[in-house]
Structure 1
Amino acid sequence: MAEAHQAVGFQFTVRPDGVDLKLSQDVIKNIYLSGVTAWKKKAIQFKNGVLAGVYPACPSSWLIVVIAMMSSLYIRVDPSLGMIDGSVVPFLSRDCMSVQTRAVLSAILFATGLWLFLIYLLRYTLKALLSYHGWIFESHGRMSTSTKVWLSLVKMFSGRRPLLFSFQASLPRLPVPRVDDTIRRYLESVHPLLDSDQYDQMEVLANDFKNSKAAQLQRFLILKSYWATNYVSDWWEEYIYLRGRSPIMVNSNFYIMDLLYVTPTHRQAARAGNVVHAMLQYRRKLERGEHAPMRALGTVPMCSTQMERMFNTTRIPGIETVVRALLTKLLTFNLYIVQHLADRKHLVVYHKGRFFKVWLYTGGRHLLPSELETQFQRILNDNSEPQPGELKLAALTAGHRVPWARTRIKHFSHGVNKVSLDAIESAAFFLTLDDEPQGYDPAKTNSLDSYAKSLLHGKCYDRWFDKSFTLISYPNGKIGINAEHSWADAPIVGHMWEYILATDCFHLGYTEEGHCKGDENKGLPYPTRLQWQITKECQDAIGTSYLWAKQIADDVDFHGYLFTEFGKGLIKKCRTSPDAFIQLALQLAQFRDQGVFCLTYESSMTRMFRDGRTETVRSCTSEAVAFVRAMEDPSGTRLALFRNAADKHQNMYRLAMTGSGIDRHLFCLYIVSKYLGIDSQFLEKVLSEPWRLSTSQTPQQQLNLIDINKFPKYVGAGGGFGPVADDGYGVSYIIIGEDLITFHISSKFSSPDTDSYRFGQHIQRAMLDIKRLFMPENDKLEQHGEFVQLKNGKKHI
């Protein structure tokens, strides 16, 4: 009962001679420290808010303008050209102040107005400069004089030492493409996928839409682009993610793996302690806006809006829609109030069917890594049994959304169930202390496959799939993340993950025994078990969701593949884009695997615009098809066809990044048509086309906190996602350093036409085949129109 006595903050006893009051000094000290920390945090947030609010100027520049204006009074020079006397003075009382006082106040007011005007002028100048995207279309390594001048101007107007949100007001809006351009690019993208009759039919539908309904829909879209900060993002989030009724496990959520070759410690509680502490440090800098903004070329800023919702965020299911909230209170059957809380001081930990609430602060500070290790070890040592229905409770978040919403309303809107659910949904994030070791092991052929499936879906009831992210800690010291997709895209989570891994390994570190550094604090209150009263009806709903989720998880065919034959270094020597190289290899692998070409999705970011998220690059182009056919039936200069296809892909990628993509524009036109009750056969057909090959590149070295040339073993394995189509593949890849590319391939066992391992072998063969095109002897022969084929180790010409 020692911990129970420590939890008593004060006692009072009523006696005949009065009241005997006893206060705990520790509690009073903690209250004092918590208050000091809270006020200090508010002061820092206010200061950083002011710095970001006046950026690219600085607060001290106001004083400079005021001093300059005051100095002009003494030398009898009026830089306002009479505006001070004519406009400002009449608003000041002439009866209660002297002429000199009124002149000083007038100068200060005018200087303040001038200062604000200059700030807005700087911002709009920077916004105009950032609206120029000609630099992105220039060849790599060849920068024109105009781009050099533009880059110098951007640097000059960008100010010094920007904070995370300093550039938000200067980012341009995402432009609405012309309908003619979008339809032309769309028809061009589907031309290699359709026969002549199908293409003619699609062309008729497209032209009919362009000539009849498109103009009206486009006008509403342009109106929205003027009114909203981004004409795509809110509808994309709502209709693609939040209105979806199917399970988000596998279908929406994605995962990110740990370091590939290095495990800093094999103690589960210690690794979790360091990682959680690093996350708290990251969150503190995030709340204060102290992270440096991401910038392309080290100069062009990218939007940071998505990062605001990284912590304390939960996706709440609804009957008609889904409400994503930091904390949500249910008032009626379908009505939700969304409250955004900037901070929460606890996390919820799941271990062997039990939920624990762990406080992250003590005495106004974060728990130290050693203290967190103590708390997690206490949970690992706890042998109590799950309460009835508790073991598979999280399966509700893995199943279909409507049953989960109804169960939540009926069984978790009152009593202890509501209190416990609120604790989970308001937690900083969710932590699972897993009981089965995972990670990459070169001695085991399928170790990466098992690791990925564990992160993607686990046991279907040991991750809270609605949380912004679930941190998973394994008994062998490996970690990973399962992330919910509606609030942000993978690069945002990857930004945090790079910070966490670098801080964990190079700043916090471990003792020789593998424990967290620092003294053990046994005086912390024990983690609190969340209490549940789950009825038989609710248990049945949990069981139903679990069966649905398990069926989905068991159908995932995953293959992780490390391509070590070459990497970015060799590809760059070939004077081509690594991404284009891999995308063309995927097209070649897809054709060899399926015998046909398919609509291909590659994700591209639009974060150079305010509130930008993603755009689609349709990688299966006519040029790519021509190259693949030449590889399978050689009759021409394959290297020339490759370069042509790679250039086309790069141009498509650049158009997508600069707001001239195809799919987001058509998607928004479709949404407007539904609001207006206008039926369009063309838009219906476009939005119903399946993406049988969905691809994405995982970014790395966003922060450059780890020098992988100096520490080549400290590289991440990237992440992946589930298959998008029932009969298709999902492929995520990460280009690691100069000599390694990791592929994460997913499909479904239920499809007789797909096999993830087989597709991985096709990718390997395609990569090597394309590499051979750049062999000097092949290059020389192809210049003469000759073809070199390697067969059985012999050369045939």
Structure 2
Amino acid sequence: MPVLEREQSTNPDTNNGLPKLPVPDLQHTLDMYLKCMKHLVPEEKFRRTKGIVQMFGAPGGVGEMLQQQLHKRRESKANWVYDYWLDDMYLNNRLALPVNSSPVMVFPKQNFKTDSDALRFAAHLISAVLEYKTLLETHALPVDFARGQLAGTPLCMEQYYKLFTSYRLPGPKKDTLVAQKSSVMPEPEHIIVACKNQFFVLDVVINFRRLNEKDLYTQLEKIRKMADNEEERLPPIGLLTSEGRTEWAEARSILIKDSTNRDSLDVIERCLCLVCLDEPSGLQLTDTNRALLMLHGGGPERHGGNRWYDKPMQFVIGSDGCCGVVCEHSPFEGIVLVQCTEYLLKYMKGIPSKLVRAASVSELPAPRRLRWKCSQEIQALLAASADKLHRLAKNLDMNVYKYTKYGKEFIKRQKMSPDAYIQVALQFAYYRCHRRPVSTYESASIRRFQEGRVDNIRSATFEALAFGKAMTDGRSTFSNDEKMKTLQDAINAQTNYTILAITGMAIDNHLLGLREMAMELHMEMPDIFTDETYRVSNQYILSTSQVPTTVDMFCCYGPVVPNGYGVCYNPQSDAILFCVSSFNDSDETCSNTFVKHLEECLLEMESLCRKNSGIASS
């Protein structure tokens, strides 16, 4: 029987030949930290911080001692920062997963004419998932190579092997990322199908035979009919997984007191993935509305209970054509989700559905409805969860915006990195909105190293601020040549920091490692980590990520702080797609206003580039 174990390297082959993540030089990190923060905090606060940092890095001081301990840790671990980073980024975070943590991929809108069309799509998608899983099991997935800066380097593939084998188990203070490990005689593999807030077990291997697409369709039809039976309907237990992590852990501990609930949880926790069959939402399916429906299901009144957020891969198939995947982020990064989902969609497009209209003639056991015993205490917890998800859904302010005046080809013609250019544009837009710079997170892959995940590109550079000021405050006093010089300086600063990050030399993972090592050694926390500047440095008011796709789909996520923006972008040849999120209850943010300023700033940057190159602005 498969068991769930503490997450660890699930496929040692994925690290072969890759170097270990380096530990950056201490003084380099401290100097860079001061450089990154000098223009983000008041001068008096910065002077205090500078003294604290100098004391921390003094010869023979606490910084050097912690640095030595990190070097020892590097010798004994495949990746010295991985566990620290995973806990800090995800497992210690107590916020609810929808909106706050789980990104989504929104598929192209489907034109289903009937409910049967949606089930056919689902059966075809499940077939594609099983094909992809076979690639993973046979180690036939080709190795990824870096693109963009320092292209061509082979990348760690370990994250792919967690797509269908991981589960995020809630805990009272800290979650656990567990990995399914099969014994000699594993149980039949299964997925969970969510339909009308009910959960059903769909075995995809029966009597050692993988179900074909026709069989899968037949089973999905049975599930749809079973879900229609109102007398059999059970409370929407999935709502509990949308709770804060501590609250969900407490509710789970109550649930498992009953053996029926314990068995149902066990089956869900061991499934390959979820397929969520949604009813029509009743909304106009704009890009923005589809993004919202993926992020939170439209709240409990729509599809919010038709989910199980702890599972890494939840494929959503709405009978109105709103489809996508909801991702629990702790096992893998966005690019792995992109590669997987692009494979699935290309497979479905390239290999016609093998489904015929007639139902399967195979004698298949009926899918099983999962049962729940719900005490009054659980009913009260479900009501509280529904209320919180309703408020979370109402609070999310999303704008999916396609900028069509130009795309990455124009930027490349200026001999600039498209990613650096867009990041500078985001800094410019934030400054135009708020007249100040803020700590910014841009994820940078460190998969060049064993078990590499990400570090942070600190895009809020002094040079980007200088450009924003020149284009806003100095609009009439700076010449075009001077403005162009500040733009090129900002692009160069962004590009240089990007190279530091992807080569393991950025500051955030290093500072995190030093802080966690101090905690591990039960030391009094060094002043550098209790200083207000360090708190400001980790308040990512702009949380950004480039998620490029080659098929017609897009990624989005929520903000990571109450007064912040989440900005996911996809540079295309002649357009740039932006997904901008914020919270309605913050009087500091507004997604529509940010998008308006972003469009304005991108136009001004184009005009500046064209004037500089002697091309008349179109």
Same fold (TM over 0.5): yes
Residue aligning to 2:17:
170
AA aligned to 1:670 is R
User: Per-residue CA shift, 1:617-667, capped at 9, x if unaligned?
Assistant: 110111111111111113142112111110110110010000000111001
Residue aligning to 1:739:
574
| Conserved 8 A contact 1:268-1:477 | yes
Q: Does 1:246 align with 2:95?
A: yes
Aligned partner of 2:514 among 662, 665, 669: 669
| Conserved 8 A contact 1:438-1:450 | no
| Conserved 8 A contact 1:327-1:341 | no
- Cα distance in 2 for partners of 1:386, 1:768 equals 58
How far has the Cα of 1:553 moved from its partner? 2.2
AA aligned to 1:679 is M
**SS at 2:569 equivalent:** strand
Aligned partner of 2:296 among 457, 467, 471: 457
- Cα distance in 1 for partners of 2:187, 2:23 equals 36
AA aligned to 2:368 is T
- Cα distance in 2 for partners of 1:225, 1:263 equals 52
How far has the Cα of 1:463 moved from its partner? 1.3
Q: In structure 2, list runs of 5 or more residues that go unmatched.
A: 1-10
User: What is the root-mean-square deviation of aligned Cα atoms in Å?
Assistant: 2.5
Residue aligning to 1:684:
530
Q: Does 1:257 align with 2:80?
A: no
How far has the Cα of 1:507 moved from its partner? 1.4
Aligned partner of 2:123 among 265, 273, 287: 273
| Conserved 8 A contact 1:302-1:607 | yes
Residues 1:172 and 1:517: Cα distance change in structure 2 (over 3 Å): farther
Residue aligning to 2:3:
none
Larger radius of gyration between Structure 1 and Structure 2: 1
Residues 1:573 and 1:343: Cα distance change in structure 2 (over 3 Å): farther
User: Per-residue CA shift, 1:512-536, capped at 9, x if unaligned?
Assistant: xxxx358631432222111121111
Residues 1:437 and 1:461: Cα distance change in structure 2 (over 3 Å): closer
Q: Does 1:292 align with 2:131?
A: no
Q: Does 1:419 align with 2:255?
A: no
Residue aligning to 1:581:
421
**SS at 1:561 equivalent:** strand
User: Per-residue CA shift, 1:693-718, capped at 9, x if unaligned?
Assistant: 110010334xxxxxxxxxxxxx3332
| Conserved 8 A contact 1:327-1:340 | no
Residues 1:239 and 1:397: Cα distance change in structure 2 (over 3 Å): same
Residue aligning to 1:197:
44
Residue aligning to 1:126:
none
- Cα distance in 2 for partners of 1:618, 1:757 equals 24
Residue aligning to 1:385:
230
**SS at 1:462 equivalent:** coil
- Cα distance in 1 for partners of 2:14, 2:158 equals 11
Residue aligning to 1:527:
367
Residue aligning to 2:249:
405
How far has the Cα of 1:263 moved from its partner? 5.3
- Cα distance in 2 for partners of 1:490, 1:722 equals 14
| Conserved 8 A contact 2:273-2:312 | yes
How far has the Cα of 1:264 moved from its partner? 8.5
- Cα distance in 1 for partners of 2:184, 2:275 equals 21
Residue aligning to 1:356:
200
| Conserved 8 A contact 1:599-1:620 | yes
User: Per-residue CA shift, 1:555-603, capped at 9, x if unaligned?
Assistant: 1111111112211111111111110111111111101111211111111
How far has the Cα of 1:344 moved from its partner? 5.7
- Cα distance in 1 for partners of 2:231, 2:153 equals 52
| Conserved 8 A contact 2:188-2:206 | no
Residue aligning to 1:622:
462
| Conserved 8 A contact 2:258-2:373 | no
- Cα distance in 2 for partners of 1:725, 1:229 equals 32
| Conserved 8 A contact 2:168-2:311 | yes
Residues 1:265 and 1:563: Cα distance change in structure 2 (over 3 Å): farther
| Conserved 8 A contact 1:243-1:320 | yes
How far has the Cα of 1:289 moved from its partner? 1.0
Q: In structure 1, list runs of 5 or more residues that go unmatched.
A: 1-163, 329-337, 511-515, 702-714, 782-787
Higher RCO, 1 vs 2 (CA within 8 Å, ≥6 residues apart) = 2
Residue aligning to 1:594:
434
AA aligned to 1:428 is L
How far has the Cα of 1:669 moved from its partner? 0.7
Residues 1:264 and 1:545: Cα distance change in structure 2 (over 3 Å): closer
**SS at 1:470 equivalent:** strand
- Cα distance in 2 for partners of 1:762, 1:780 equals 26
Residue aligning to 1:711:
none
Residues 1:549 and 1:264: Cα distance change in structure 2 (over 3 Å): closer
| Conserved 8 A contact 1:603-1:615 | yes
- Cα distance in 2 for partners of 1:370, 1:477 equals 21
How far has the Cα of 1:375 moved from its partner? 1.9
Residues 1:423 and 1:226: Cα distance change in structure 2 (over 3 Å): same
- Cα distance in 2 for partners of 1:557, 1:192 equals 29
Residue aligning to 2:178:
325
Residues 1:341 and 1:432: Cα distance change in structure 2 (over 3 Å): farther
Q: Does 1:482 align with 2:322?
A: no
Residues 1:424 and 1:167: Cα distance change in structure 2 (over 3 Å): closer
Residue aligning to 2:154:
301
AA aligned to 1:289 is H
Q: Does 1:646 align with 2:495?
A: no
Residues 1:428 and 1:400: Cα distance change in structure 2 (over 3 Å): same
**SS at 1:301 equivalent:** coil
How many residue pairs get aligned? The number is 585
Residues 1:361 and 1:519: Cα distance change in structure 2 (over 3 Å): farther
Residue aligning to 1:494:
338
TM-score (norm 1): 0.70
- Cα distance in 2 for partners of 1:271, 1:755 equals 37
Residue aligning to 1:373:
217
Aligned partner of 1:237 among 69, 73, 86: 86
1:30-41 alignment, distance < 5 Å: none
The share of aligned pairs that are identical, in percent, is: 28
